[in-house]
Structure 1
Amino acid sequence: MTDTTDRAGELADLAARFPHLHAPQRWAWGGIDAQFSAELPPDELITNIHLVGFSDDKVVLCRDARGHWFLPGGTREAAESIESCLVRELREEAGARLAGPPVWIGAHRCVTDSPVPYRPWQPHPEKAWLWGWAEVTVDSEPTNPADGEQVVEVRAMTADEARRLLVRGRDEWWSELLTLAIESRARG
Protein backbone atom coordinates (compact mmCIF):
# COMPACT_ATOMS: atom_id res chain seq x y z
CA MET A 1 0.00 0.00 0.00
CA THR A 2 1.32 3.45 -0.83
CA ASP A 3 1.64 6.39 1.57
CA THR A 4 -1.07 8.20 -0.41
CA THR A 5 -3.44 5.24 -0.04
CA ASP A 6 -2.63 5.02 3.70
CA ARG A 7 -3.32 8.74 4.17
CA ALA A 8 -6.59 8.54 2.22
CA GLY A 9 -7.65 5.67 4.48
CA GLU A 10 -6.77 7.66 7.62
CA LEU A 11 -8.77 10.65 6.39
CA ALA A 12 -11.78 8.45 5.54
CA ASP A 13 -11.58 6.83 8.98
CA LEU A 14 -11.54 10.22 10.71
CA ALA A 15 -14.53 11.41 8.66
CA ALA A 16 -16.47 8.26 9.62
CA ARG A 17 -15.59 8.61 13.32
CA PHE A 18 -16.36 12.35 13.45
CA PRO A 19 -19.30 12.83 11.07
CA HIS A 20 -20.56 16.13 12.54
CA LEU A 21 -17.11 17.69 12.33
CA HIS A 22 -16.62 16.59 8.71
CA ALA A 23 -20.14 17.47 7.52
CA PRO A 24 -20.51 20.51 5.24
CA GLN A 25 -21.42 23.52 7.35
CA ARG A 26 -22.96 26.91 6.77
CA TRP A 27 -21.69 29.62 9.12
CA ALA A 28 -24.50 32.13 8.52
CA TRP A 29 -22.86 34.80 10.72
CA GLY A 30 -20.09 35.18 8.12
CA GLY A 31 -21.78 33.95 4.95
CA ILE A 32 -19.33 31.03 4.95
CA ASP A 33 -19.60 27.48 3.65
CA ALA A 34 -17.06 25.35 5.54
CA GLN A 35 -15.77 21.78 5.35
CA PHE A 36 -13.36 20.25 7.87
CA SER A 37 -10.47 18.00 6.88
CA ALA A 38 -7.44 16.64 8.70
CA GLU A 39 -5.54 17.51 5.51
CA LEU A 40 -3.82 20.81 6.29
CA PRO A 41 -4.27 23.72 3.88
CA PRO A 42 -1.45 25.79 2.41
CA ASP A 43 -0.19 28.57 4.68
CA GLU A 44 -1.41 31.33 2.37
CA LEU A 45 -5.06 30.26 2.85
CA ILE A 46 -4.97 30.28 6.66
CA THR A 47 -6.78 33.34 8.02
CA ASN A 48 -7.81 32.09 11.47
CA ILE A 49 -6.06 29.96 14.06
CA HIS A 50 -7.70 28.31 17.07
CA LEU A 51 -6.33 26.07 19.79
CA VAL A 52 -7.48 23.50 22.27
CA GLY A 53 -5.17 24.50 25.11
CA PHE A 54 -4.37 21.90 27.74
CA SER A 55 -3.28 22.96 31.21
CA ASP A 56 -2.32 19.72 32.90
CA ASP A 57 -5.27 17.48 32.02
CA LYS A 58 -7.79 20.29 31.74
CA VAL A 59 -9.06 22.26 28.73
CA VAL A 60 -8.74 26.05 28.74
CA LEU A 61 -11.85 27.93 27.60
CA CYS A 62 -12.61 31.64 27.44
CA ARG A 63 -15.95 33.35 28.11
CA ASP A 64 -16.81 36.70 26.56
CA ALA A 65 -19.05 39.44 27.90
CA ARG A 66 -22.06 37.87 26.10
CA GLY A 67 -21.60 34.62 28.05
CA HIS A 68 -20.28 32.76 25.00
CA TRP A 69 -17.60 30.09 25.74
CA PHE A 70 -14.93 29.55 23.08
CA LEU A 71 -11.48 28.18 22.31
CA PRO A 72 -8.75 30.84 22.19
CA GLY A 73 -7.67 31.96 18.77
CA GLY A 74 -8.52 34.43 16.10
CA THR A 75 -7.70 36.25 12.91
CA ARG A 76 -4.21 36.45 11.48
CA GLU A 77 -2.81 39.93 10.91
CA ALA A 78 -1.12 41.00 7.66
CA ALA A 79 2.19 39.14 7.13
CA GLU A 80 1.83 37.43 10.54
CA SER A 81 3.14 33.88 10.87
CA ILE A 82 0.90 31.13 12.20
CA GLU A 83 3.06 30.80 15.33
CA SER A 84 3.07 34.58 15.98
CA CYS A 85 -0.71 34.72 15.58
CA LEU A 86 -1.16 31.83 17.99
CA VAL A 87 1.14 33.40 20.61
CA ARG A 88 -0.64 36.78 20.30
CA GLU A 89 -4.16 35.32 20.42
CA LEU A 90 -3.38 33.13 23.44
CA ARG A 91 -2.14 36.19 25.34
CA GLU A 92 -5.03 38.41 24.22
CA GLU A 93 -7.87 35.99 24.93
CA ALA A 94 -6.61 33.58 27.60
CA GLY A 95 -3.68 35.29 29.30
CA ALA A 96 -1.78 32.16 28.32
CA ARG A 97 1.50 31.16 26.70
CA LEU A 98 2.59 28.05 24.89
CA ALA A 99 4.22 25.44 27.13
CA GLY A 100 4.91 23.11 24.20
CA PRO A 101 4.72 23.11 20.42
CA PRO A 102 1.30 23.22 18.76
CA VAL A 103 0.01 20.14 16.95
CA TRP A 104 -2.26 20.93 14.01
CA ILE A 105 -5.16 18.48 13.70
CA GLY A 106 -7.06 19.93 10.75
CA ALA A 107 -8.76 22.91 9.22
CA HIS A 108 -12.07 24.13 7.94
CA ARG A 109 -11.67 25.03 4.28
CA CYS A 110 -14.04 27.94 3.76
CA VAL A 111 -15.66 29.83 0.92
CA THR A 112 -17.42 33.09 1.71
CA ASP A 113 -20.17 34.71 -0.28
CA SER A 114 -19.15 38.14 1.00
CA PRO A 115 -18.12 40.44 -1.87
CA VAL A 116 -14.94 41.52 -0.03
CA PRO A 117 -12.50 39.80 2.32
CA TYR A 118 -12.90 40.23 6.09
CA ARG A 119 -9.50 41.97 6.15
CA PRO A 120 -7.94 43.46 2.97
CA TRP A 121 -4.84 41.23 3.14
CA GLN A 122 -6.79 37.95 3.40
CA PRO A 123 -7.31 35.52 0.54
CA HIS A 124 -10.77 35.74 -0.95
CA PRO A 125 -13.24 34.07 -1.40
CA GLU A 126 -11.41 30.92 -0.23
CA LYS A 127 -9.72 30.72 3.15
CA ALA A 128 -9.05 28.27 5.98
CA TRP A 129 -9.44 28.12 9.75
CA LEU A 130 -6.65 26.07 11.34
CA TRP A 131 -7.34 23.96 14.45
CA GLY A 132 -4.79 22.45 16.81
CA TRP A 133 -3.86 21.70 20.37
CA ALA A 134 -0.93 22.49 22.65
CA GLU A 135 0.10 22.51 26.26
CA VAL A 136 -0.40 26.02 27.66
CA THR A 137 0.23 27.92 30.87
CA VAL A 138 -2.31 30.51 31.98
CA ASP A 139 -0.16 33.04 33.79
CA SER A 140 -1.85 36.44 33.40
CA GLU A 141 -5.12 38.18 32.65
CA PRO A 142 -6.25 38.37 29.00
CA THR A 143 -5.01 41.60 27.41
CA ASN A 144 -8.45 42.20 25.81
CA PRO A 145 -7.49 44.57 22.97
CA ALA A 146 -10.26 47.01 22.00
CA ASP A 147 -10.82 45.34 18.60
CA GLY A 148 -11.17 41.80 20.02
CA GLU A 149 -13.60 39.80 22.10
CA GLN A 150 -13.82 41.12 25.62
CA VAL A 151 -12.97 38.07 27.72
CA VAL A 152 -14.42 38.11 31.22
CA GLU A 153 -13.37 34.64 32.35
CA VAL A 154 -10.71 32.07 31.55
CA ARG A 155 -11.11 28.65 33.09
CA ALA A 156 -9.31 25.29 32.92
CA MET A 157 -11.96 22.57 33.14
CA THR A 158 -12.55 18.91 32.53
CA ALA A 159 -13.06 17.78 28.95
CA ASP A 160 -16.69 16.89 29.73
CA GLU A 161 -17.42 20.39 31.04
CA ALA A 162 -15.64 21.94 28.05
CA ARG A 163 -17.73 19.83 25.66
CA ARG A 164 -20.94 20.87 27.40
CA LEU A 165 -20.06 24.58 27.29
CA LEU A 166 -18.77 24.52 23.69
CA VAL A 167 -21.80 22.68 22.32
CA ARG A 168 -24.45 24.60 24.28
CA GLY A 169 -26.63 26.24 21.65
CA ARG A 170 -24.26 25.25 18.84
CA ASP A 171 -23.53 22.44 16.44
CA GLU A 172 -22.35 19.06 17.70
CA TRP A 173 -19.08 19.32 15.74
CA TRP A 174 -17.49 21.25 18.61
CA SER A 175 -17.62 18.15 20.81
CA GLU A 176 -16.03 16.04 18.06
CA LEU A 177 -13.27 18.63 17.52
CA LEU A 178 -12.43 18.51 21.21
CA THR A 179 -12.42 14.69 21.17
CA LEU A 180 -10.09 14.70 18.14
CA ALA A 181 -7.68 17.02 19.98
CA ILE A 182 -7.77 14.85 23.11
CA GLU A 183 -7.09 11.71 21.08
CA SER A 184 -4.23 13.40 19.21
CA ARG A 185 -2.70 14.51 22.51
CA ALA A 186 -3.00 10.98 23.93
CA ARG A 187 -1.11 9.58 20.93
CA GLY A 188 1.69 12.00 21.80
Structure 2
Amino acid sequence: MRLTRFCRRRLRSLAAITAPNASNSRSIKDAPPPAASPPRSQEANPVISPQHYPDLFAPRDWGFLSWQFTLNIPPDSLIANVNLVPFVGDQCVILHFENGKWEIPGGTLEPGEHYLATVHREALEEAGARVDSFHPLGAWACHSPLDKPYRPHMPHPDFFRLVGYGDVELITQPTMPEGGEKVARVEIVPIPEAERRFRSCDRADLADLYRLAAHLRKSP
Protein backbone atom coordinates (compact mmCIF):
# COMPACT_ATOMS: atom_id res chain seq x y z
CA MET A 1 0.00 0.00 0.00
CA ARG A 2 1.44 3.33 -1.03
CA LEU A 3 1.50 6.32 1.26
CA THR A 4 -0.99 8.99 0.23
CA ARG A 5 0.25 12.50 -0.49
CA PHE A 6 -1.58 13.70 2.63
CA CYS A 7 0.13 11.09 4.80
CA ARG A 8 3.55 12.06 3.44
CA ARG A 9 2.93 15.73 4.26
CA ARG A 10 1.58 14.79 7.68
CA LEU A 11 4.60 12.64 8.48
CA ARG A 12 7.02 15.37 7.41
CA SER A 13 5.21 17.76 9.74
CA LEU A 14 5.31 15.25 12.61
CA ALA A 15 9.00 14.55 12.06
CA ALA A 16 9.76 18.21 12.76
CA ILE A 17 8.32 18.00 16.28
CA THR A 18 10.95 17.90 18.99
CA ALA A 19 11.28 18.41 22.73
CA PRO A 20 14.98 19.19 23.25
CA ASN A 21 14.47 20.49 26.78
CA ALA A 22 12.34 17.62 28.08
CA SER A 23 13.75 15.66 31.00
CA ASN A 24 14.08 11.90 31.35
CA SER A 25 15.52 12.07 34.86
CA ARG A 26 12.35 12.19 36.99
CA SER A 27 11.55 9.27 39.26
CA ILE A 28 9.24 6.61 37.89
CA LYS A 29 6.86 4.67 40.06
CA ASP A 30 7.33 0.88 40.04
CA ALA A 31 10.37 1.05 37.74
CA PRO A 32 14.07 0.58 38.55
CA PRO A 33 16.01 3.87 38.70
CA PRO A 34 17.07 4.33 35.06
CA ALA A 35 20.20 5.94 33.72
CA ALA A 36 19.01 8.03 30.80
CA SER A 37 20.68 10.73 28.77
CA PRO A 38 18.71 13.94 28.14
CA PRO A 39 16.75 13.88 24.86
CA ARG A 40 18.52 15.69 22.09
CA SER A 41 18.17 16.07 18.34
CA GLN A 42 20.83 14.55 16.12
CA GLU A 43 19.58 16.37 13.01
CA ALA A 44 22.67 18.62 12.78
CA ASN A 45 25.10 15.69 12.74
CA PRO A 46 26.33 15.37 9.12
CA VAL A 47 27.19 11.68 9.61
CA ILE A 48 23.57 10.85 10.43
CA SER A 49 21.36 11.34 7.40
CA PRO A 50 18.91 9.48 5.16
CA GLN A 51 21.78 8.95 2.71
CA HIS A 52 23.70 6.92 5.30
CA TYR A 53 20.66 5.01 6.60
CA PRO A 54 18.19 4.96 3.67
CA ASP A 55 16.09 2.01 4.86
CA LEU A 56 15.59 3.54 8.30
CA PHE A 57 14.48 6.95 7.02
CA ALA A 58 12.27 5.69 4.17
CA PRO A 59 8.52 6.42 4.65
CA ARG A 60 6.67 3.18 5.34
CA ASP A 61 3.22 1.85 6.02
CA TRP A 62 1.83 -1.18 7.78
CA GLY A 63 -1.83 -1.96 7.35
CA PHE A 64 -3.62 1.33 7.96
CA LEU A 65 -0.67 3.04 9.72
CA SER A 66 1.96 5.19 8.03
CA TRP A 67 5.21 6.27 9.63
CA GLN A 68 8.61 7.86 9.04
CA PHE A 69 11.74 7.92 11.17
CA THR A 70 13.05 11.18 12.61
CA LEU A 71 16.05 12.02 14.80
CA ASN A 72 13.98 14.53 16.76
CA ILE A 73 12.80 13.48 20.22
CA PRO A 74 9.03 14.00 20.66
CA PRO A 75 7.22 15.36 23.73
CA ASP A 76 6.31 12.72 26.32
CA SER A 77 2.60 13.34 25.70
CA LEU A 78 2.86 12.09 22.10
CA ILE A 79 4.82 8.89 22.82
CA ALA A 80 2.65 5.77 22.48
CA ASN A 81 5.33 3.08 22.08
CA VAL A 82 9.02 2.63 22.79
CA ASN A 83 11.79 0.35 21.52
CA LEU A 84 15.27 -0.43 22.81
CA VAL A 85 18.42 -1.42 20.90
CA PRO A 86 20.11 -3.43 23.68
CA PHE A 87 23.87 -3.85 24.01
CA VAL A 88 25.90 -6.35 26.02
CA GLY A 89 29.45 -5.08 25.79
CA ASP A 90 30.24 -4.43 22.12
CA GLN A 91 27.55 -6.84 20.92
CA CYS A 92 23.80 -6.39 20.62
CA VAL A 93 20.69 -8.34 21.60
CA ILE A 94 18.11 -9.47 19.06
CA LEU A 95 14.89 -11.47 19.49
CA HIS A 96 13.74 -14.41 17.39
CA PHE A 97 9.98 -14.89 17.55
CA GLU A 98 8.15 -18.16 16.94
CA ASN A 99 6.82 -16.77 13.65
CA GLY A 100 10.40 -16.77 12.32
CA LYS A 101 10.92 -13.01 12.45
CA TRP A 102 13.85 -11.23 14.08
CA GLU A 103 12.73 -8.31 16.22
CA ILE A 104 13.73 -5.56 18.63
CA PRO A 105 12.45 -5.34 22.24
CA GLY A 106 9.70 -2.83 22.88
CA GLY A 107 5.99 -2.22 23.16
CA THR A 108 3.09 0.05 24.03
CA LEU A 109 2.90 2.28 27.09
CA GLU A 110 0.26 1.24 29.63
CA PRO A 111 -2.16 3.91 30.95
CA GLY A 112 -0.22 6.43 33.05
CA GLU A 113 3.10 4.68 32.37
CA HIS A 114 6.22 6.69 31.53
CA TYR A 115 8.20 5.38 28.58
CA LEU A 116 11.22 4.57 30.75
CA ALA A 117 9.05 2.22 32.81
CA THR A 118 7.89 0.63 29.54
CA VAL A 119 11.50 0.10 28.46
CA HIS A 120 12.27 -1.76 31.69
CA ARG A 121 9.07 -3.82 31.55
CA GLU A 122 9.31 -4.82 27.89
CA ALA A 123 13.02 -5.65 28.07
CA LEU A 124 12.38 -7.99 31.00
CA GLU A 125 9.31 -9.60 29.41
CA GLU A 126 10.71 -10.07 25.91
CA ALA A 127 14.43 -10.53 26.48
CA GLY A 128 14.79 -11.38 30.17
CA ALA A 129 17.01 -8.30 30.38
CA ARG A 130 17.71 -5.73 33.07
CA VAL A 131 18.19 -2.28 31.56
CA ASP A 132 21.17 -0.36 32.94
CA SER A 133 20.92 2.71 30.68
CA PHE A 134 18.69 4.21 28.01
CA HIS A 135 19.69 6.90 25.50
CA PRO A 136 16.92 8.19 23.17
CA LEU A 137 18.15 8.48 19.58
CA GLY A 138 14.98 9.20 17.57
CA ALA A 139 11.42 8.13 16.90
CA TRP A 140 9.02 6.94 14.25
CA ALA A 141 6.41 9.61 13.56
CA CYS A 142 3.15 7.70 13.01
CA HIS A 143 -0.24 8.65 11.62
CA SER A 144 -3.50 6.70 11.78
CA PRO A 145 -6.50 7.50 9.54
CA LEU A 146 -8.91 5.71 11.90
CA ASP A 147 -11.52 7.50 13.98
CA LYS A 148 -10.33 6.01 17.27
CA PRO A 149 -6.94 5.14 18.77
CA TYR A 150 -5.74 1.54 19.02
CA ARG A 151 -6.16 1.83 22.80
CA PRO A 152 -8.19 4.58 24.53
CA HIS A 153 -5.23 6.12 26.42
CA MET A 154 -2.98 6.45 23.36
CA PRO A 155 -2.43 9.77 21.53
CA HIS A 156 -4.37 9.92 18.26
CA PRO A 157 -4.29 10.29 15.25
CA ASP A 158 -0.63 11.33 15.42
CA PHE A 159 1.81 9.66 17.79
CA PHE A 160 5.41 8.54 18.10
CA ARG A 161 7.28 5.30 18.69
CA LEU A 162 10.38 6.40 20.59
CA VAL A 163 13.58 4.39 20.19
CA GLY A 164 16.87 4.44 22.04
CA TYR A 165 19.89 2.31 22.83
CA GLY A 166 21.29 1.13 26.13
CA ASP A 167 23.32 -1.38 28.06
CA VAL A 168 21.53 -4.45 29.42
CA GLU A 169 22.26 -7.63 31.31
CA LEU A 170 20.41 -10.87 30.50
CA ILE A 171 19.27 -12.12 33.90
CA THR A 172 16.37 -14.51 33.22
CA GLN A 173 14.21 -16.15 30.57
CA PRO A 174 11.61 -14.09 28.66
CA THR A 175 8.26 -13.94 30.46
CA MET A 176 5.84 -12.91 27.73
CA PRO A 177 2.24 -12.24 28.90
CA GLU A 178 -0.39 -14.81 27.96
CA GLY A 179 -1.74 -14.18 24.47
CA GLY A 180 1.31 -12.24 23.28
CA GLU A 181 3.79 -13.22 20.61
CA LYS A 182 6.25 -15.80 21.88
CA VAL A 183 10.00 -15.26 21.83
CA ALA A 184 11.71 -18.44 20.64
CA ARG A 185 15.19 -17.32 21.63
CA VAL A 186 17.28 -14.32 22.64
CA GLU A 187 20.70 -13.96 21.01
CA ILE A 188 23.75 -11.76 21.57
CA VAL A 189 25.48 -11.12 18.25
CA PRO A 190 27.86 -8.62 16.59
CA ILE A 191 26.21 -5.69 14.80
CA PRO A 192 26.99 -7.03 11.27
CA GLU A 193 25.27 -10.32 12.14
CA ALA A 194 22.24 -8.48 13.52
CA GLU A 195 22.04 -6.50 10.28
CA ARG A 196 22.20 -9.69 8.22
CA ARG A 197 19.41 -11.36 10.17
CA PHE A 198 17.12 -8.33 10.05
CA ARG A 199 17.60 -8.01 6.29
CA SER A 200 16.89 -11.73 5.87
CA CYS A 201 13.34 -11.20 7.20
CA ASP A 202 12.61 -7.97 5.31
CA ARG A 203 13.45 -5.63 8.21
CA ALA A 204 16.16 -3.54 6.59
CA ASP A 205 14.93 -0.60 8.67
CA LEU A 206 15.96 -2.39 11.86
CA ALA A 207 19.31 -3.30 10.29
CA ASP A 208 19.97 0.41 9.72
CA LEU A 209 18.69 1.25 13.20
CA TYR A 210 21.13 -1.12 14.92
CA ARG A 211 23.99 0.23 12.81
CA LEU A 212 23.03 3.80 13.78
CA ALA A 213 22.77 2.89 17.47
CA ALA A 214 26.23 1.31 17.38
CA HIS A 215 27.64 4.47 15.74
CA LEU A 216 26.06 6.79 18.34
CA ARG A 217 27.16 4.56 21.19
CA LYS A 218 30.79 4.94 20.13
CA SER A 219 30.53 8.67 19.48
CA PRO A 220 32.02 11.02 22.12
TM-score of the pair, normalised by structure 2: 0.76
- Aligned to 1:167, the other structure's residue is in SS state helix
Cross-structure match for 1:94: 127
- 1:8 CA displacement: 5.2
Q: Does the aligned pair in 1 maintain the 2:142–2:159 contact within 8 Å?
A: yes
- 1:11 CA displacement: 7.2
Per-residue CA deviation, residues 62-98 of structure 1 (Å, 9 max, x unaligned), is 1112121101111111110111100000010000011
Paired residue for 1:19, among 48, 51, 54?
54
Q: Does the aligned pair in 2 maintain the 1:11–1:37 contact within 8 Å?
A: no
Q: Distance in 1 between matches of 2:137 and 2:129?
A: 20
- 1:10 CA displacement: 2.9
Query: Structure 2 vs 1, CA of residues 18 and 33 (structure 1 numbering), >3 Å: closer, same or farther?
Result: same
- 1:38 CA displacement: 0.5
Q: Which has more strand, going by share of residues?
A: 1
Cross-structure match for 1:127: 159
Cross-structure match for 1:165: 197
Q: Distance in 2 between matches of 1:44 and 1:12?
A: 29
Greater shift, 7-16 or 31-40, is seen at 7-16
Counterpart amino acid of residue 50 in structure 2: A
After superposition, residues 169-184 of structure 1 pair within 5 angstroms as: 169-184=201-216
Percent identity between the two aligned chains: 34
Q: How many residues align?
A: 180
Q: Which has more helix, going by share of residues?
A: 1
Cross-structure match for 1:63: 96
Q: Does the aligned pair in 1 maintain the 2:43–2:71 contact within 8 Å?
A: no
Structure 1: where are the runs of 5+ without partners? 1-5
- 1:164 CA displacement: 1.4
Per-residue CA deviation, residues 93-118 of structure 1 (Å, 9 max, x unaligned), is 0000112x211110000001233211
Q: Does the aligned pair in 2 maintain the 1:55–1:135 contact within 8 Å?
A: yes
Counterpart amino acid of residue 182 in structure 1: A
Q: Distance in 2 between matches of 1:24 and 1:133?
A: 22
- 1:140 CA displacement: 0.1
Counterpart amino acid of residue 127 in structure 1: F
Q: Does the aligned pair in 2 maintain the 1:34–1:108 contact within 8 Å?
A: yes
- Aligned to 2:49, the other structure's residue is in SS state helix
TM-score of the pair, normalised by structure 1: 0.88
Counterpart amino acid of residue 186 in structure 2: V
Query: Are 1:37 and 2:75 an aligned pair?
Result: no
Choose between structure 1 and 2 for higher RCO, CA contacts under 8 A separated by at least 6 residues.
Answer: 1
